[in-house]
Amino acid sequence: MIMINSTQVSYFTFGAYFDIGLFKYLLFLIIMCFYALIVCANVLLIVVICKNRSLHEPMYLFLCSLFVNELYVSTGLFPFLLVQILSDIHTVSAPFCFLQIFCVYTYGSIQFFNVSIMSYDRYLAICYPLQYNTHMTFTKVTVLIALTWSFPFIGDAVVISLSAPLQLCGNIIDKVYCNNYSVVKLACFDTRVNNIYGLICTCILVFGPLSVIIYTYVKILKVCYSGSKQTRQKAVSTCTPHLASLLNFSFGGFFEIIQSRFDMNSVPMMLRIFLSLYFLTCQPIFNPLMYGLQMSKIRSLCKSLIFG
């Protein structure tokens, strides 16, 4: 690998792209359709929730935050992928690369925090139905959503500030988009501070929300087993989309972490690319369809908005 100083690294090259000939135009159309579906579905649900006062409840406001986050990451990823697919030279400027890293990392953190406060909301609604409106006030909802967005932005801004000044001994990233750990691995010198901070951030941003999710669902299960049939039906109807979303996101996130931290050269390149994109593409498609189809109130309002 060619030795280069940090002042000379003005761009990064993606090593995961390979020549697929005319199939790149088919891939371009597929990715374009995915992007259009994500934008239309998420925008539709955001408009429905914002427009109808009957949906100005904590559960739907948390969903709105979830859909905004999915639009955020899709805009940070898909236009870039579309350009790279059609391009013969797969490079990106260093500033844009770090901007994309920030976008991807904050998306993952916000998603996990959002899912945890949604589980907390379901916990209050099922375990303390009579006190729900007292516990989940509009002020509390606003504070929770603000923390969900602000904390990841601050934490991941520090990640970027530690990675950007590193002196690098190469500029090839073995992925189809920018990844912080891939950049840190190119560093010429000790990255102990980056690794320690990354570990602390992972513990806070993953195990913090995860502990909330586990605690709330243990409590919900206890109420379901000891409660009436009506209570169990309410729990199943409101928690099924949330659990499905959580499992889908966790599945994609798990494989993304495995790919970043361990040697995956024995795994076929196409599979690695698919798993990387699964983490960032399936959730923005999965959530609007899951919540839009599962929740009858949203489903009926979407129909009335589309068909008049």
Q: What is the pLDDT of residues 88-146, one digit of tens each?
A: 888 889 899 999 999 999 998 899 899 999 989 988 988 888 888 888 999 999 999 99
- Which residues make Cβ contacts (< 8 Å) with residue 222, sequence separation at least 6? none
pLDDT higher than threshold 70 for residue 307: no
C-alpha distance from residue 148 to each of 107, 118, 166, 174, 296 (Å):
11, 11, 29, 31, 27
Range of the domain at 90: 22-307
> Looking at the domain assignment, is residue 15 inside a domain?
no
Strand extents, DSSP E, 25-70: none
Give domain status of residue 17, yes or no. no
Residue 114: inside a domain = yes
pLDDT tens profile 8-64: 578 888 877 777 777 888 888 988 998 999 998 899 889 888 888 888 889 889 999
The number of C-alpha atoms within 13 Å of 252 and in the hemisphere containing its C-beta is 20
- Is the model more confident about 269 or about 288? 288
Instruction: Work out how many domains the chain is built from and give that number.
Output: 1
Torsion, Cα 32 100 61 115, to 10 degrees, reads 100
For residue 158, tell me if it sits in a domain: yes
Residue 131 counted as domain residue: yes
Give the residue carrying structure tokens 């950007």: 164
Q: Are 288 and 41 in contact (CB under 8 A)?
A: yes
Q: Does the structure show a pLDDT above 80 at 272?
A: no
Which pTM value belongs to this model? 0.86
Query: Tens digits of per-residue pLDDT, 78-87?
Result: 999 888 888 8
Residue 235 lies in a domain: yes
Q: Long-range contacts of range 7-10, CB-CB < 8 Å, 24 or more positions apart?
A: 9/94, 9/168, 9/171, 10/93, 10/94
CATH number at residue 165: 1.20.1070.10
User: In the chain, pLDDT over 70 holds for what percent of residues?
Assistant: 88
Rounded Cα–Cα distance for residues 92 and 211 (Å): 38
Does 33 fall in a domain? yes
Flag whether 9 is in a domain.
no
Least confident of 61-70, 132-141, 270-279: 270-279
